[in-house]
Structure 1
Amino acid sequence: MKVDLVVLDIAGTTVEEHGLVYKALADTVIAAGGDASDVGDWMGADKYEAISSMLGKSIVDVEFKDFHERLGAYYAETPPTPIPGVPEALVQLRSNGVKVALTTGFDRPIVDGLLEVLGWGEGLLDAVVCVDDVSAGRPAPYMIFKAMELTGARDVRRVLTAGDTVRDLEAGTNAGAGFVVGVLSGSQTEAELAAVPHTHLLPGVANLPALLA
């Protein structure tokens, strides 16, 4: 079946950010007196929700601001870069009439700064959906549905979702996407991704044009 829209995660899927988001999360929680030993369980999740859960309280505005500041400092020190082959794959997908959207557990201020550093804009992407654009982050499917709305995609069976975390795959499955692809470019292992429903496991986003050829 033809694919109209490819929906991709950012960190670990299209962008190499060296695991700094999880370092910033852990440092924030520890500084607030919490236990960050399960920070890896929050890969792909809403970062506000992650901090709230690890600290055991619902309002964490101060801590979330601290997380932003820490992550900004880490990114300034070690700037994120595109994962090799990703920009070329996105260009090829769009040249074949496939729309490309990014979804992320980051909020809009982080994403805007990240995309500016990368130099990614309308020439490469059709839509960018952040966790604060919807009522719930992954594994809820809402960011995928929002990407469909923004790009005019009508049939979820003609949507491909791809990500490097279990939550990415769960969101794609919950959305009913025709293709739910796990990529091995992030920090979760092939065994971890293989343990949840999916249609394909690939080395990375660079392999998507060949899959859809």
Structure 2
Amino acid sequence: MKTLNHDSKLNLIVLDMAGTTVADGGLVEQAFSAAAARLGVEPGSADHAGKLDYVRATMGESKITVFRHLFGEETLAQRANAAFEEAYGELVDGGRIAPVPGAREAIEQLTSEGRTVALSTGFARATQDAILAALGWQDLVALTLCPADAGGRGRPYPDMVLAAFLRTGAVDDVRRTVVAGDTSYDMLSGVRAGAGIVAGVLTGAHDKDQLTRSGATHVLGSVAELPGLIARAEA
């Protein structure tokens, strides 16, 4: 881990949404199955199982990138992505989403300490906005980012973290940024951006070994533990 000066404050916090601050409850897989069925992938087939395994392995990546890999041809990928976003949006509208316990409180604590918090996602903007509206989080943080807000490349690229760094001006050194997420792609994104703390959380897709292998500097039970970790790092 990069060392920080004792007077350095970790004032930019970039948090993932589904699986990290938002309890997804398997909605990604359900929405994928609905989208795949619309494109003729039979539920229960070997093709469906193989594609679902890939979706699980790439949790955290930009969804359109996942569909480009699975379906190849751009028109099919765009159709699949649109169907996925529609299915996910319907699940969100149906009340199938909730905050991770303690997530809102952690965000409010970090903000009250003078830190800037950004929420990032691999979903499209319309889906991200639907999740924020369902939770009543539209005004909770200073910045929300989806891949299209950072040039179109989602995780594992560092683009969304660096976009938060550039847009907020919250810190003058990228090492004073904290990134937290539940997937290997979140960890890779944080490491590649040069964040001082890259924290994995165990409330989502990937386990401690996967998070650590992808560069997590810390692994927490949940994002609720993040304010304490930051306080200790600054002490």
- TM bucket (normalised to shorter chain) is over 0.9
The equivalent of 2:216 in structure 1 is 198
Deviations 1:143-162 (A, max 9, x none): 00111122113310100000
Separation (CA, whole Å) in 2 of partners of 1:181 and 1:189: 12
Give the corresponding residue for 1:86. 103
SS at 2:110 equivalent: helix
Q: Distance in 2 between matches of 1:165 and 1:121?
A: 24
Are residue 22 (structure 1) and residue 29 (structure 2) matched?
Answer: yes
Partner of 1:119: 136
Aligned with residue 169 of structure 2, among 152, 171, 175: 152
Name the counterpart of 2:229: 211
Residue 89 (structure 1) shift: 0.7
Matched, 1:44 2:51: no
Structure 2 counterpart of 1:12, from 19, 35, 56: 19
Match of 2:92 in 1: 75
Distance 1:190 1:177, change over 3 A: same
* Identity %, equivalent residues: 41
Q: Number of residues paired by the alignment?
A: 212
Which of the pair has more CA radius of gyration? 2
- The CA distance in 1 between the partners of 2:39 and 2:68, in whole Å, is 11
Q: Does 1:167 align with 2:185?
A: yes
Measure the CA separation in 2 of the matches of 1:19 and 1:150.
32
Scaled by the length of structure 1, the TM-score of the pair is: 0.94
CA contact (8 A) 2:156 2:189 kept: yes
Deviation >6 Å, runs of 4+: none
Q: Structure 1: 5+ residue runs without aligned partners?
A: none
Partners of 1:193 and 1:28 lie apart in 2 by 28
What residue ranges of structure 2 are gaps of 5+ in the alignment? 1-7, 42-46
How far apart are the structure 2 equivalents of 1:143 and 1:26? 27
Give TM-score, length-normalised by structure 2: 0.85
RMSD: 1.5
Give deviations 1:121-153, integer Å, cap 9, x for gaps.
33x201001111123110100000111122113
* 1:30 shift after superposition: 4.1
Structure 1 equivalent of residue 5 of structure 2: none
- Tell me the SS of whatever aligns to 2:74: coil
Of stretches 46-55 and 28-37 in structure 1, the one that deviates more from structure 2 is 28-37
**In the aligned structure 2, how far is the partner of 1:55 from the partner of 1:78?**
30
Aligned to 2:83: 66
